[in-house]
Amino acid sequence: MTLYTLNKSERPHISFFGCTNSGKSSLVNAVTNQNLAVVSDVKGTTTDPVEKSMEILPLGPVVIIDTAGINDEGNLGTLRIERTNRILDKTDIAVLVIDSSFGFQDEDFNLINEFENRKIPYIVVFNKSDLAPSKTLPRGEGYFVSAKTGDGVNELKEKLGHLINENKKEKYIIRDRLKQGDIVVLVIPIDESAPKGRIILPQQNVLRECLDAHATAICTQVEGLGNLLNTVTPKYVITDSQAFNKVKEIVPDNTILTSFSILMAKYKGKLNELINGAETLSNLKDGDKILISEGCTHHRQCNDIGTVKFPKWIKDFSGKNIDFEFTQGGEFPSDLSKYRLIIHCGGCMLNEHEMKSRIKKAKEQNIPIVNYGMAIAYMNGILDRAMEIFHE
């Protein structure tokens, strides 16, 4: 398996946490066998989290994340801690690094509680074992290592490998709904928002799963869909959500119709909570504020779906004067109280843990959240139809 065979969002995210000067960065370099993180005796050298997609034996393809010290001080230290806390949202496996010379700090116990509250599998590692007076574990089970000498690093990697395998879930976007010989029509508009020379990740993933299931996938644009359906009878028609208004008029009622974004909602998120959020679109009032959030970062185009199309669709649908705010990539507010609704992309560039963390934050603050595809289907009056694929 090479670096290019598994997208970053599908790789286990292993994050290293701990107090300043516990040797997190040195241990990251020892585990990866690279100078991935800057190492210094100066306290607080690591500022922003450092992420790297790589392959490590015996772990396979992973994302390794080095974080700033959780006990950093001052205004800048507070910002570093905030960024470190954000990493928890995307962490699949946590490594808590303790300086063996000093043992546990209060901040370490706080982190353990956070791991356990979030149900994040974790390993406690006592680094600098070459300097420690003894190897008596001060609390529960843990591993003594020395990033400097390499002692215990291989054993740590083996343990991480076991944790990855124990927590691995076999999930599919659509493959488990297909049989050999099924025909699936993929409607992929090529317009100004389509990336040059390629198709976007959800379309790639669905196409590959169709092939893996030995189904027949036929790709077309909206303009060719009618003639195509005169010659084949597909099991499913899967479209770009933006084309729902045209595609719904072409696809017969007895053919299951859904979108790539809706399939991603099931794959990455929590379907029922996202469905419930769609109904809020019918109850908007003048002055309501909506957050439109995308998990990836891309150059905004003149007819961008998030900043241009969605505001127009929502204003036309609701007839209300709505205020909009926008976030991209890793940005997602911790305080959502000012929003009436959150509309989120399919999350193809976020790992499952981060997408579900965002949904969880919205639920905890009683703010409805809906996926792009579901919102578009709802405003086109076909949400129930678009969800039939999950009720077969």
Cβ contact 349:201 at 8 Å: yes
Residue 75 pLDDT: 54
Which amino acid is present at 370? V
Lowest-pLDDT range of 11-20, 34-43, 136-145, 156-165:
34-43
Do 8-166 and 274-383 come out as alike in CATH topology?
A: yes
Per-residue pLDDT tens digits for 202-252: 999 999 999 999 999 999 999 999 999 999 999 999 999 999 999 999 999
DSSP assignment of 221-248 equals: -HHHHHHHHTT---SEEEE-GGGHHHHH
Superfamily of domain 8-166 in the CATH hierarchy: P-loop containing nucleotide triphosphate hydrolases (3.40.50.300)
Report the range of poorest mean pLDDT among 137-151, 312-326, 331-345, 360-374.
Answer: 137-151
DSSP H/E element including 99: strand 93-99
Enumerate the domain spans of the chain: 8-166, 175-263, 274-383
- Return the higher-pLDDT residue of 250 and 47: 250
CATH architecture, domain 175-263: 3-Layer(aba) Sandwich (3.40)
Contacts of 383 (CB under 8 A, 6+ apart): 275, 278, 374, 377
C-beta of residue 52 within 8 angstroms of C-beta of residue 36: yes
CB atoms within 10 A of CB 167: 12
Give the separation between CA 356 and CA 298, rounded to whole angstroms.
Answer: 22
Q: What is the pLDDT of residue 3?
A: 40
**pLDDT higher than 50, residue 64:** yes
Q: Does residue 152 register a pLDDT over 50?
A: yes
pLDDT of residue 298: 59
CATH number for the domain whose boundaries are 274-383: 3.40.50.11410
Has residue 78 got a pLDDT over 70? no
Single out the residue of 303, 347, 351 nearest to residue 328, CA to CA. Answer: 347
What does the alpha-carbon distance between residue 315 and residue 310 come to, in Å, rounded to a whole number?
8
Token digits for 46?
């690591």
| pTM of the full structure | 0.85
Per the CB < 8 A criterion, the answer to whether 329 and 296 are in contact is yes
Segment 302-309 mean pLDDT: 81
On average, the pLDDT of the chain sits at: 88
Q: What mean pLDDT is predicted for residues 55-63? A: 88
Angle of helix 352-364 versus helix 271-278 axis, rounded to 10: 50
Check residue 381 and give its pLDDT: 96
Q: Over 90: is that where the pLDDT of 282 sits?
A: yes
Residue 40 pLDDT more than 60? Answer: no
- Measure the CA–CA gap between 185 and 170, rounded to whole angstroms: 25
What is the share, in percent, of the chain residues with pLDDT greater than 70? 88
pLDDT at position 254 is: 95
Among 42-51, 165-174, 238-247, name the most confident range.
238-247
Contact between residue 386 and residue 258 where contact means Cβ atoms under 8 Å apart:
yes
Cβ neighbourhood burial of 85 (10 Å; 0-12, 13-18, 19+): middle
Taking the C-alpha atoms of residue 309 and residue 296, their distance in angstroms, rounded to an integer, is 17
Q: Give the least confident one: 76-80, 209-213, 281-285.
A: 76-80
Q: What is the pLDDT of residue 91?
A: 95
Q: 340 vs 7, which has greater pLDDT?
A: 340
Q: Which class for 197: exposed (0-12), middle (13-18), buried (19 or more C-beta within 10 A)?
A: exposed
